[in-house]
Amino acid sequence: TQTVSQSDAHVTVFEGDSVELRCNYSYGGSIYLSWYIQHHGRGLQFLLKYYSGNPVVQGVNGFKAEFSKSDSSFHLRKASVHWSDSAVYFCAVSASSSFSKLVFGQGTSLSVVP
């Protein structure tokens, strides 16, 4: 069974700052890792995903994430945040045995102060 952990429930940064949102997972086999964003009162929207190849993947709006097998991590980063990036960010894992079943982390609420 795959599990996902997002250690930070809330992160607050100033506009223009860089940010890292942490995601750790546990699963022994092949997996997909992805990030979704949820603005208040709306559904989740896809940001990016990783399965194999270059461990650094680029997403929309300047977001990128880096896969680390040794750390079992898939942290999300942005070099310079904007107030509109304020939202809840969810990391998700799906296992090779059932790729279409996404298991989500608890979410990290990002607040960007103008």
Partner 1 sequence: GPKVLQIPSHQIIDMGQMVTLNCDPVSNHLYFYWYKQILGQQMEFLVNFYNGKVMEKSKLFKDQFSVERPDGSYFTLKIQPTALEDSAVYFCASSLPWQGRKYERLFFGHGTKLSVL
Residue type, 105: G
Nearest to 84 by CA among 64, 102, 103, 110: 110
- Other Cβ atoms less than 10 A from the Cβ of 55: the count is 12
Question: Judged by CB under 8 A, which stretch of 12-20, 21-29, 30-38, 62-70 contacts partner 1?
Answer: 30-38
Restricted to residues 66-105, the positions that interact with partner 1 (CB under 8 A) are 90, 98-105
Residue 106 makes contact with partner 1 by CB under 8 A: yes
Taking the C-alpha atoms of residue 68 and residue 74, their distance in angstroms, rounded to an integer, is: 6
Choosing from 19, 23, 34, 95, the residue that interacts with partner 1 (CB under 8 A) is 34
Q: Tell me how far apart the alpha carbons of residues 11 and 19 are, in angstroms, rounded to a whole number.
A: 9
Q: Is there binding between residue 10 and partner 1 (CB under 8 A)?
A: no
Positions touching partner 1 (CB under 8 A) are: 32, 34, 36, 41-46, 49, 51, 90, 98-107
